[in-house]
Amino acid sequence: MTQPSFETHEVFNQSPPFEDVNLLKADRPLMDAVRANGGADAEQELIAFGALWGSADMAEQGRLANENTPKLRSFDAKGFRRDVVEFHPAYHQMMARSIEAGLHNSTWTAQGKPAGGSSEVVRAAKFYIASQVESGHLCPITMTRASVAALASQPELLARTMPVIGTRNYDPAFAPWWGKRGMTLGMGMTEKQGGTDVRANMTTAERTSDGYRITGHKWFMSAPMCDAFLVLAQAEGGLTCFFLPRFAPDGSVNALRFQRLKDKLGNRSNASSEVEFAGAYAERVGDEGRGISTIIQMVQLTRQDCAISSAGLMRSGLAHALHHARHRSVFQKHLADQPLMQSVLADMALHVEATVALVMRLCRAFDRALGDPSEAAYMRLLTPAIKYWVCKGAPPFLYEAMECLGGNGYVEDGILARHFRESPVNAIWEGSGNVMCLDVLRALSREAEAATAVLKILAEETRGLPGAADAVASVSQAFRRGDSERVARLAVEKLALLAAVAALNAVTPAHAELFAATRLANVHPSMYGAVDLDPAAIRALLERALP
Ligand SMILES: Cc1cc2nc3c(=O)[nH]c(=O)nc-3n(C[C@H](O)[C@H](O)[C@H](O)COP(=O)(O)OP(=O)(O)OC[C@H]3O[C@@H](n4cnc5c(N)ncnc54)[C@H](O)[C@@H]3O)c2cc1C
């Protein structure tokens, strides 16, 4: 349909919307990384997913879900408490689509055991694609999926909840979880006086004849319309993990009092609440005093998803930038043909290609960890390192992607402004940057032998690549230092880069060489494009990034 023209001018030289694109087929680095990490069999399923999520309709639903933010309804018209959050239908649409694709449960069997095979890699590819369209709803999706790992500490509770978590139905009804067609779970750890330091939690748990009563608050508790939350509270035996449902077993509404929803920089389709528990009913998950070790099983998985989702945001930034540059002419030449813009785009493409190879390699470790100790060691050491490097790299990347679109990039009509506002959160929640670096050090000190073996394998996998040997030596040295905490960022970034080179080498060796030359042998400049790539490499990178 032709659009009515303006009276004063014709509209031309604007790029068409980047919509109705198959987000899998248009992404060779993703397809190759999935194949290299065991997911080849799922290609048809992923192509269908990429077509749906790349549609103009899904893009529109994503926009609507973010422009029409959730609203807290604390009371009804007569002053009775309601404590419910209302979402725009577009948000529910996103939830339904993600749940029908199993993003919340496909890595588990019906009994809540790891599904194995390539389920992590395949789900990660979907998560990567979904985050390119709408990130906010992925918060309850990732928490639901991850909660199963913590529920495993209480097998009879897992057995009761798994039949409801295990369905592919989205059921947003405000009703007791046990009667629903499907359920979602959230997590409450952070209190006002301490988030990282959960030992400082003041919320208490009192044992009663039918379970526990939780009294206290959480300063951040996202996705408050979840059917239940895993929360930490101080019980007699110490900090303990609890399953706190929205409805008590007698069917009454449980005593969760939402105080406010946060007014956030990004992540706006998702609600993040401040909440009080006024003697709320809860069941114990794991032993008393084992709260941190119980919930850390969940957090390990949400950290993995933070990295996947930040990688997806960067991919989307790159794809929009490249698409625009191929349509926009400046000085009689497409932007994509201007040598300086080519350097910027190719350097960004290289970054994303290494990032997607790295997160898929990590997911393969999650797939194989149960039966393979070296994969388990890779997963333990590299999850925090990869979360750190990938998530913290997303905001500057998206800023550059926005700039490729010029002024349009900065305007909320397009998706890049939203992606940019979204991008810092993955680095902050589920363990902020420094906390991730300290976690790498913890893995090194507690499981020194396994961690050293991982480094040895990375050294073998990157042998001969520019800067790799020096990087291995400097990482080992830094971690052995008595004051390793002081230089942890230096060492963890290098470790992640080394792992990225190794992962990319298994997918596209020529690009692994380039990535190593520009990131390991030399410190990468603070701006994308400030590198000297030859024209053939630029062509190859950009062709792979978007056909
Ligand atoms: C949008 C959003 C949604 C959220 N949703 C949830 C939720 O659903 N459930 C939930 O439980 N929490 C949630 N959080 C909270 C989030 O997990 C915490 O904000 C985060 O863990 C950091 O805790 P904090 O804010 O208390 O900061 P602090 O713990 O005070 O940390 C401040 C800074 O100090 C650094 N730091 C901490 N310890 C050290 C150290 N030993 N050495 C050096 N540096 C250190 C950290 O890296 C950080 O940069 C959410 C946060 C946001 C922004």
Å from CA of 222 to ligand 1 middle: 13
The angle subtended at Cα 396 by Cα 300 and Cα 443, nearest 5°, is 25
- Determine if ligand 1 sits within 6 Å of the CB of residue 195: yes
Give me the residues paired with residue 205 across strands.
214
Percent of residues, the chain, with pLDDT higher than 90: 98
Residue to substitute in 142, 196, 219 for testing ligand 1 pocket (most ligand atoms within 8 angstroms of CB): 196
Closest atom, ligand 1, to C-alpha of 196: 29
In this structure, the number of other CB atoms found within 10 A of the CB of residue 442 comes to 13
Identify the three-state secondary structure at position 104.
coil
- Determine if ligand 1 sits within 6 Å of the CB of residue 428: yes
- Determine if ligand 1 sits within 6 Å of the CB of residue 220: yes
> Which secondary-structure segment (H or E) carries 541?
helix 535-545
What's the number of CA atoms in the CB half-sphere (13 Å) around residue 386?
Answer: 34
pLDDT tens-digit map of 370-385: 999 999 999 999 999 9
- Determine if ligand 1 sits within 6 Å of the CB of residue 508: no
Å from CA of 428 to ligand 1 middle: 6
Do β-strands 238-245 and 228-235 pair in parallel, antiparallel, or remain unpaired? Answer: antiparallel
- Determine if ligand 1 sits within 6 Å of the CB of residue 136: no
- Do 282 and 255 form a contact (C-beta atoms < 8 A)? no
- Determine if ligand 1 sits within 6 Å of the CB of residue 164: no
Take residue 162 and report the two structure tokens written for it: 């798994």
The percent of the chain in helix, strand and coil, each rounded to the nearest 5, is 55, 15, 35
Answer whether residue 388 shows pLDDT above 80: yes
- Do 472 and 436 form a contact (C-beta atoms < 8 A)? no
Which domains are delineated in the chain? 56-289 (2.40.110.20), 293-545 (1.20.140.10)
3-state secondary structure 362-377: HHHHHHHCCCCHHHHH
Å from CA of 287 to ligand 1 middle: 25
- Do 484 and 491 form a contact (C-beta atoms < 8 A)? yes
- Which band of pLDDT confidence, cut at 50, 70 and 90, is reported for residue 44? very high
Å from CA of 37 to ligand 1 middle: 32
In this structure, the number of other CB atoms found within 10 A of the CB of residue 257 comes to 15
> Which secondary-structure segment (H or E) carries 435?
helix 433-446
Distance, CA of 205 to chain centre = 31
Take residue 394 and report the two structure tokens written for it: 């997303």
Query: CA 300, CA 379: separation in Å to the nearest integer?
Result: 9
**Which among 189, 211, 396, 219 is positioned nearest to 298, based on CA atoms?**
189
Q: Name the residue with the closest Cα to ligand 1, atom 41.
A: 435
Closest atom, ligand 1, to C-alpha of 428: 20
- Rg of the chain over Cα atoms, rounded to whole angstroms, equals 23
**Which among 55, 56, 91 is positioned nearest to 71, based on CA atoms?**
91
What's the number of CA atoms in the CB half-sphere (13 Å) around residue 29?
Answer: 37
Query: CA 127, CA 104: separation in Å to the nearest integer?
Result: 10
Closest atom, ligand 1, to C-alpha of 267: 1
Query: CA 525, CA 30: separation in Å to the nearest integer?
Result: 25
pLDDT tens-digit map of 490-535: 999 999 999 999 999 999 999 999 999 999 999 999 999 999 999 9
**pTM of structure:** 0.98
Q: Name the residue with the closest Cα to ligand 1, atom 26.
A: 195
Å from CA of 431 to ligand 1 middle: 6
Answer whether residue 249 shows pLDDT above 80: yes
Closest atom, ligand 1, to C-alpha of 188: 11
Closest atom, ligand 1, to C-alpha of 434: 47
- Which band of pLDDT confidence, cut at 50, 70 and 90, is reported for residue 2? low
- Which band of pLDDT confidence, cut at 50, 70 and 90, is reported for residue 5? confident
Å from CA of 289 to ligand 1 middle: 22
Q: Name the residue with the closest Cα to ligand 1, atom 31.
A: 196
- Determine if ligand 1 sits within 6 Å of the CB of residue 435: yes
- Determine if ligand 1 sits within 6 Å of the CB of residue 194: yes
Burial category of 109 from C-beta neighbours within 10 Å (exposed 0-12, middle 13-18, buried 19 and up): middle
Å from CA of 105 to ligand 1 middle: 26
3-state secondary structure 327-392: HCEECCEEHHHCHHHHHHHHHHHHHHHHHHHHHHHHHHHHHHCCCCHHHHHHHHHHHHHHHHHHHH
- Do 218 and 203 form a contact (C-beta atoms < 8 A)? yes
pLDDT tens-digit map of 203-241: 999 999 999 999 999 999 999 999 999 999 999 999 999
